[in-house]
Amino acid sequence: MKAFFLSSVFSIFISISLFAQSDSLAVINAQWTKEKITKGIILKTFWFQNTLFNSNQNVSVLEVNRKGKYVFDLGFDAKKLITTGDFGKQANAIAALNGTFFDIANGGSVDYIKSNGEIINENRLSKNGKRANHQKSALLFQEGKLSIAKWDGKADWEKTLVADDIMVSGPLLILNQSEEKLDTANVFNKTRHPRTAVAITKNNKVLLITVDGRNANSGGMSLFELSKLMRWLHADDAINLDGGGSTALWINNWGENGIVNYPTDNRKWDHEGQRKVANVLLLKKK
């Protein structure tokens, strides 16, 4: 009986390992559709047809060379909700990616936003004063450069960060090439949804990433699956942003309306279902 049990455990371990290897190879060997947006900026897309995490997954990656003549900026409105595409157009941006979590009924971010020294929105903490998991990391915008920071456990952490603009968000997925530990009991982490993420890679690239979901064509990812994808995309650092119906990647003069992925708010597999959001990450010319 003991030998049978050990044999069964070993077989399960081998099966899991083979699935993980198959998934990583699917990403590494994917024949990504690549389109040059401008010098130093490439859009990569791929539709994994039942080959990634045993599911359909549509992934879009805007790859930005950090040595290029571009800057990252924070777009926001303290109260009004605006689509990611309209944020991008208003800023005359090259691209825009939906940002952090927000109050869908009343507008404004529920996570800390600071711009040019002014606090736009404070963290909305739980009734017991605790931070949400998406309030334990941040995107920092300093002189047009982008970096990712981790909460140090202190109540005033974000107010000690040195950056022109700050967007608190999360959960943090990878920091300094090490995967962060995610709460395995958290339903938000375990359930598949459309996802938005930002990664900084080993070869000095910034990746703006969307994973579509809630559709037969693309199932979406859990945060555990998203972390693996970030690692296979060679991320040194990676952070999860607001996802679900908010997930949207816009590029100026792309297609009919600039939206690359398949937002879900209209429940159709097209580029028309943008949700209005409170803030975005902007890519602009210097």
Is residue 113 domain-shared with residue 212, that is, in the same domain?
yes
Is residue 10 domain-shared with residue 87, that is, in the same domain?
no
- The pair phi, psi for residue 241, each rounded to 5°, is -110, -175
Is residue 55 domain-shared with residue 142, that is, in the same domain?
yes
Model confidence band, residue 1 (pLDDT cutoffs 50, 70, 90)? low
- pLDDT for 21: 79
Q: Give yes or no for residue 164 having a pLDDT over 50.
A: yes
pLDDT tens digit sequence for 213-233 = 999 999 999 999 999 999 999
Is residue 265 domain-shared with residue 176, that is, in the same domain?
yes
The domain total for the chain is 2
Residue 36 CB neighbours (<10 A): 9
Strands of 137-142's sheet in order across: 118-121, 113-115, 165-169, 137-142, 145-150
Is residue 41 domain-shared with residue 6, that is, in the same domain?
no
| pTM beyond cutoff 0.85 | yes
Is residue 113 domain-shared with residue 232, that is, in the same domain?
yes
Is residue 21 domain-shared with residue 145, that is, in the same domain?
no
Who has greater pLDDT, 79 or 225?
Answer: 225
- pLDDT for 3: 52
Is residue 41 domain-shared with residue 24, that is, in the same domain?
no
Is residue 106 domain-shared with residue 236, that is, in the same domain?
yes
pLDDT tens digit sequence for 28-42 = 999 999 999 999 999
Mean pLDDT throughout 250-279? Answer: 97
Across the chain, mean pLDDT equals: 93
Q: Say how far apart CA 280 and CA 201 lie, in whole Å.
A: 21
Domain that holds residue 237: 32-285
Q: Give yes or no for residue 58 having a pLDDT over 80.
A: yes
Is residue 12 domain-shared with residue 89, that is, in the same domain?
no
Can you list the positions of beta strands (E) in the chain? 33-38, 41-52, 55-65, 70-76, 82-83, 95-98, 113-115, 118-121, 137-142, 145-150, 165-169, 172-175, 178-179, 195-201, 205-211, 235-240, 249-251, 276-277, 279-285
Is residue 116 domain-shared with residue 21, that is, in the same domain?
no
Is residue 120 domain-shared with residue 198, that is, in the same domain?
yes
Q: Give yes or no for residue 7 having a pLDDT over 60.
A: no
pLDDT tens digit sequence for 88-99 = 999 999 999 999
Q: Give yes or no for residue 286 having a pLDDT over 70.
A: yes
